[in-house]
Copies of this chain bind each other. A is one copy, B any other.
Amino acid sequence: MIVRPLDAGDKDQWQALYDGYHRFYDRPDLPQDFFDGVFDRLMGGDPQDFHALVAEADGRLLGLTHYVFHPHMWFPEGVCYLQDLFASADARGKGVGRALIEGVYAAADAAGGPRVYWLTQEFNYAGRMLYDRVGVRTPFIRYNRPL
């Protein structure tokens, strides 16, 4: 298995994975426009927009992650927010998630801003089993503006 940046030829496999990710969060049946727009952003090369890494074995994509660098008040070098992480159901338990997170760590190091964080639902037990090994839980919880 290798972890590498998303490539223009990955679109179909990437979309299947990202659709699976949204189904996990109860957002099925997103329109094709949504996937087209996201893929264009990921391939657009804007350093201030999201980047993607994929895990691949034998020409098959097993997982993806999307991350973005954004400013932080306390750290002038900025921070890296790992927003999306997903492994296909039949690739679970094989280290795909860990490899992707470590790929983001390496990308953050290369960008000169090694701080990486992510948010997850308190009851995402399977995810947290991994996160407790590769990350540190903080006492911070998220509030949203009601819309």
Contacts and interface: CB of A to CB of B under 8 A. Distances in A.
A147 interface: yes
Interface stretch (A7-15, A87-95, A130-138): A130-138
Interface in A100-119: 105, 108, 114-119
Complex copy number for this chain: 4
A140 B125 contact: no
B146 A135 contact: yes
Given A48-B71, A68-B70, A117 B139 contact: no
For A66, A120, A121, A144, the residue with the greatest tally of chain B CB atoms inside 10 Å of its CB is: A144
B145 A119 contact: no
Nearest to A132: B123
Interface in A64-106: 66, 68, 70-73, 76, 81, 83-84, 105
Interface residues of A, number: 48
Contacts of A105: 145
Contacts of A128: 123, 125
Interface of A: 37-38, 41, 48-50, 66, 68, 70-73, 76, 81, 83-84, 105, 108, 114-123, 125-126, 128-129, 131-132, 134-147
